[in-house]
Amino acid sequence: MKAPRMTLDQFVEHLRLYGGAWFLDGEGRLRRRRRNPAGQSVRECPLTAVCWEVLGAYYRTGEAYRAGDRLHLLSRMSSQIMCAADHPAWSDCAVSTRRVRRALLRATKVEERPAPEVIR
């Protein structure tokens, strides 16, 4: 029997429950610090972090689509989560992705930084 799809609300709830050392990196991407199975310090994106916490499956940040697939997220939802976590310049993303970013930041208790001014 096929596992049911994880919803955005369920994904965000997992982020909230598992917590961790979430932060915005120098480019405004949402990341979590933790130790990987080999004991090395790693930075995780929301998809790879939730996959680790829920399934115990470790994926590098570059393998976020695989982590989303393992979580039974629709690929479109995985894309929205990645865009929301990685692109703080909201003008680059769809309106629905902006809503997802706000949900991710609330769940991880991270405050959005204002975008830097572009001097021309």
Query: What is the rounded CA–CA span in Å between residue 35 and residue 68?
Result: 20
Secondary structure class of 24 (helix, strand, coil): strand
Q: Is the dihedral of CA 92, 72, 8, 106 positive or negative?
A: negative
Angle at the Cα of 24 from the Cα atoms of 78 and 82, rounded to 5 degrees: 10
| Tokens of residue 99, six digits | 């809503």
Q: Which residues pair with 23 in a beta bridge?
A: 31
Q: Which residues pair with 33 in a beta bridge?
A: 21, 43
Res. 98 pLDDT band, cuts 50 70 90: confident
What is the average pLDDT across 8-19?
A: 92
Res. 113 pLDDT band, cuts 50 70 90: confident
Name the pTM for this structure.
0.83
**Nearest CA among 107, 79, 75, 110 for reference residue 92:** 79
User: How high is the pLDDT of residue 58?
Assistant: 86
| Tokens of residue 25, six digits | 């990196």
